[in-house]
Amino acid sequence: MKKVVKLTALSLALALTSSMAAAAENIAFINAGYLFQNHPDREAIAKKLDSEFKGTADKLAANKKKIDAKIAALQKEAPKLRAADIKKREDEINGLVKAHEEQVGKFQAETQKVENDERAKLLGSIQTATNNIAKEKGYTYVIDANSVVYAVEGKDITEDVLKAISANKAPAAK
């Protein structure tokens, strides 16, 4: 009987302690997609990337047009040409196509790497601002809004984080 009373008391104490610990959690949420889309640096980075890669993209597009023109010319002239001439021009075009595809692949890899680096910078600033707001307001967890099923009013700190990002950006812009 003594063991049963001790076990019950211990179970009750554990239950009360765990419910008190759960009550101590302070959880907020952010809309990470909104923060990324409205990040103050996003548009400037997009313009920078566009200007940085526009020249190469234009050259690749012009090169593609030249290849397409050669293919069209071969198709038009094929009935008048000997088989050996057709084969020679096809080989030339295939070489141009292969070289073009290699250039496009390198270009895409390079742009993807730079875009990923810039995206990581934006996400890093969102993470830093979120951490600062969470510490300032005493939140123990901050989760993405897409994971939230229900939340009470006042737990969405998205706008606070966006303001913190903008505030951190202002001194650097001067």
Q: What is the 3-state secondary structure (H, E, C) of 109-170?
A: HHHHHHHHHHHHHHHHHHHHHHHHHHHHHCCCEEEEHHHCCCCCCCCECHHHHHHHHHHHHH
Residue bearing the bigger pLDDT, 152 or 117? 117
- What is the pLDDT, as a whole number, of residue 8? 54
Q: pLDDT tens digits for 81-100?
A: 898 988 999 999 999 999 99
pLDDT at 140 over 80: yes
Q: How confident is the model at residue 168 (pLDDT cuts 50, 70, 90)?
A: confident
Residue bearing the bigger pLDDT, 162 or 7? 162
The distance from CA 158 to its chain's CA centroid, rounded to whole angstroms, is: 18
- What is the pLDDT, as a whole number, of residue 123? 93
Taking alpha carbons only, the member of 127, 120, 125, 115 closest to residue 170 is 125
Tell me what the mean pLDDT of segment 108-126 comes to: 95
Taking alpha carbons only, the member of 140, 133, 125, 160 closest to residue 39 is 125
Q: How confident is the model at residue 148 (pLDDT cuts 50, 70, 90)?
A: confident
pLDDT at 78 over 90: no
- What is the pLDDT, as a whole number, of residue 154? 80
**Tokens at 66, concatenated:** 């030249």
Q: Which amino acid is at 14?
A: L
Residue bearing the bigger pLDDT, 157 or 14? 157
CATH superfamily of this structure's domain 2-173: Skp domain (3.30.910.20)
pLDDT at 33 over 80: yes
Alpha-carbon gap, residue 108 to 105, rounded angstroms: 5
Q: Are 164 and 132 in contact (CB under 8 A)?
A: yes
